[in-house]
């Protein structure tokens, strides 16, 4: 009996949402009705399930990163949608088996490639200073002090995956539309093609600020896109992703060696100074927190910066047991 290709029509995004448990009640009903209309429909759903399970385990399976697996799954689904052939000469069961066999071949090829080329992981840690890194694809990375970064000696054929385990880095990614650049921070997955942006991973809390291009940030199956001048701040315990406007250039201090404040509230300046100098500055009075500072510090010592702040706002700077108090 010929396969009813009309019944095969079902949006890939709905099937993906269905398998991930993210579909709406109406979409669930739609898929349930669809899968019962024809044996081929059930076969197609099985193929999608296989894609998902294989994507979770294929390559880097030890990491068990759900967002990375989800990204791979969506990419495979898009590839299938773009090359879909409605002339179905095989029975659904045979097509399902052919998909499984194809993934086994891919897994074997990946293992052989890795073994032959002996790709190794390079891990860099910075202490007091910054470090410039050129990746195998020509992408340029600047690591801030106290950062832990890992990348392979060579990238695979379909992606460029690196890990920012902790700390902060500025990425200027080489453009390659066929090989996306992925940054794994543990709980957050960042995806770009060719762009520049800053990433901070502090105690599992991740901040991303975009300078050029488009950056895609994913967590727990949710994704947002950031454009130039936008940022996201994702707390370790947060289940949502939100974006904001970036209001200052202070995050650039470790690249530019400057602290540029333009109507910047004092609390924000203090926050960055504590990061840059490993200091412990506190603002004693609440009414001081939002005082606007307009100045640029170029390679100044912390004492010099504090002296300018003291004279600008006519406040006292007191040091007590390692703590610097603005009062």
Task: Give me the tens of pLDDT residue by residue for the chain, a chain 327 residues long.
Answer: 444 444 456 776 677 777 777 678 888 888 888 888 877 788 777 777 776 666 555 544 444 455 666 666 666 666 555 554 444 444 444 454 555 555 555 556 555 555 555 678 899 999 888 999 999 999 999 999 999 999 998 887 788 999 999 999 999 999 998 899 999 998 889 999 889 999 999 988 999 999 999 999 998 888 999 999 999 999 888 878 899 999 899 999 999 999 999 999 999 999 999 999 999 999 999 999 999 999 999 988 999 999 999 999 999 999 988 899 999
What pLDDT score does 16 carry? 74
Q: For domain 121-245, give the CATH number.
A: 2.60.120.1440
Q: Is 3.55.50.30 the CATH number for 250-326?
A: yes
Pairing of the two strands 222-226 and 215-219 = antiparallel
H or E element that contains 276: helix 266-277
pTM: 0.66
Name 205's bridge partners: 202
The C-alpha angle 12, 17, 23, rounded to 5 degrees, equals 125
Count of CB atoms within 10 A of residue 310's CB?
Answer: 13
Any idea where the domains of the chain sit in the sequence? 5-117, 121-245, 250-326
Distance CA(5)–CA(151), nearest Å, equals 45
């Amino acid at each position: 009996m010929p396969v009813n290709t009309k019944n095969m029509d079902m949006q890939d995004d709905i099937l993906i949402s269905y398998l991930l448990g993210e579909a709406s009640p109406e979409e669930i009903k739609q898929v349930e009705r669809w899968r019962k209309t024809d044996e081929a429909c059930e076969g197609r759903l099985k193929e999608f399930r296989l894609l998902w399970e294989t994507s979770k385990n294929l390559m880097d399976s030890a990491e068990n990163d759900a967002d990375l697996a989800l990204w791979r799954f969506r990419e495979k689904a898009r590839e299938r949608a773009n090359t879909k052939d409605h002339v179905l000469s095989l029975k659904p069961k045979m097509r399902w088996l052919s998909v499984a066999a194809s993934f086994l071949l891919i897994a074997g090829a990946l293992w052989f490639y890795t073994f032959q080329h002996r790709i190794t992981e390079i891990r860099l840690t910075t202490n007091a200073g910054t470090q410039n890194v050129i990746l195998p694809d020509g992408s340029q990375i600047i690591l801030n002090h106290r950062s832990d970064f890992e990348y392979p000696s060579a990238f695979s054929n379909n992606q460029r995956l690196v890990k920012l385990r902790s700390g902060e880095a500025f990425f200027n990614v080489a453009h390659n539309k066929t090989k996306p650049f992925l940054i794994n921070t543990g709980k957050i997955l960042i995806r770009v093609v060719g762009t520049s942006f800053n990433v901070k991973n502090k105690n599992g809390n991740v901040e991303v600020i975009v300078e050029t291009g488009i950056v895609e940030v994913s967590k727990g199956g949710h994704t947002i896109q950031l454009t130039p001048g936008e940022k996201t701040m994702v707390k370790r315990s947060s289940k949502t992703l939100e974006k904001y406007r970036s209001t200052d250039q202070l995050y650039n201090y470790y690249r530019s060696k400057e602290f540029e404040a333009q109507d910047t509230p004092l609390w924000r300046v203090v926050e960055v100074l504590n990061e840059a100098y490993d200091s412990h500055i506190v603002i004693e009075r609440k009414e001081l927190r939002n005082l606007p500072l307009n100045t640029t510090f170029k390679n100044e010592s912390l004492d010099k910066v504090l002296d300018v702040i003291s004279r600008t706002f006519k406040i006292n700077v007191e040091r007590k047991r390692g703590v610097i108090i603005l009062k």
